[in-house]
Amino acid sequence: MSVALRTLVHGGLLVRLKRGVYAKPAMVAKCGATALLAGVSAKQRQKLVRARKQRRRLRQQLTPTARLVAALARKNRVDYRPTYADQFAASATRLAGDSVQPDATDDLLVALRRDGKISESDFLMHVIAHHRALKHV
């Protein structure tokens, strides 16, 4: 992915505004880099507001698996911290047009697995149970 972006930037088809933010040269000439970055910031704020609302909704409708995972994470003092690889995967998924949105339970399961607090089979079992329960909520 980075090779493709680098090639497009060197070829003059894209302009890098900041890390992870690219625009077409015509748009930069038309609107200016500052205005485009301001638009990105506004979109990020909107995204945060939407994420907060979604978290509030999810708190109201926790699945049994979500409660179990949250308790397990509290007990083991584990919290989810996204890595660069997580951010890259989310960006690649978004660019591919997929609408996959992992929730807090998915993130906690990843954190528990990374810290070795649960096995691979337990991780898969809980993810599947959680998503099945979400379909019925």
Q: What is the pLDDT of residues 4-15, one digit of tens each?
A: 888 888 888 888
Q: From the CA atom positions of the chain, what is the Rg in Å?
A: 19
| Claim: this prediction has a pTM higher than 0.85 | no
**pLDDT grade for 137, boundaries at 50, 70 and 90:** low
Residue bearing the bigger pLDDT, 59 or 34: 34
- Burial of residue 57 (CB within 10 Å: 0-12, 13-18, 19+) is exposed
The number of CA neighbours under 13 Å toward the Cβ of 29 is 6
DSSP sequence for 109-135:
HHHHHHTTSS-HHHHHHHHHHHHHHHH
Model pLDDT, residue 76? 94
Predicted confidence (pLDDT) at residue 37 exceeds the cutoff of 80:
no
Evaluate if residue 20 carries a pLDDT over 80.
no
21-31 pLDDT per residue, tens = 888 888 888 88
15-18 and 21-23 strand pairing: antiparallel
pLDDT of 62-119, one tens digit each?
Answer: 788 998 999 999 999 999 998 998 888 888 888 887 777 788 899 999 999 999 999 9
Q: Say if residue 38's pLDDT is above 70.
A: yes
**pLDDT above 70 (res 32):** yes
- Write the DSSP symbol of residue 96: T
Phi-psi region of 34 (alpha: psi -120 to 50; beta: other; left: phi over 0): alpha
Span 34-50, average pLDDT: 77
Q: Determine which helix (DSSP H) or strand (DSSP E) holds 73, and give its type and residue range.
A: helix 64-75
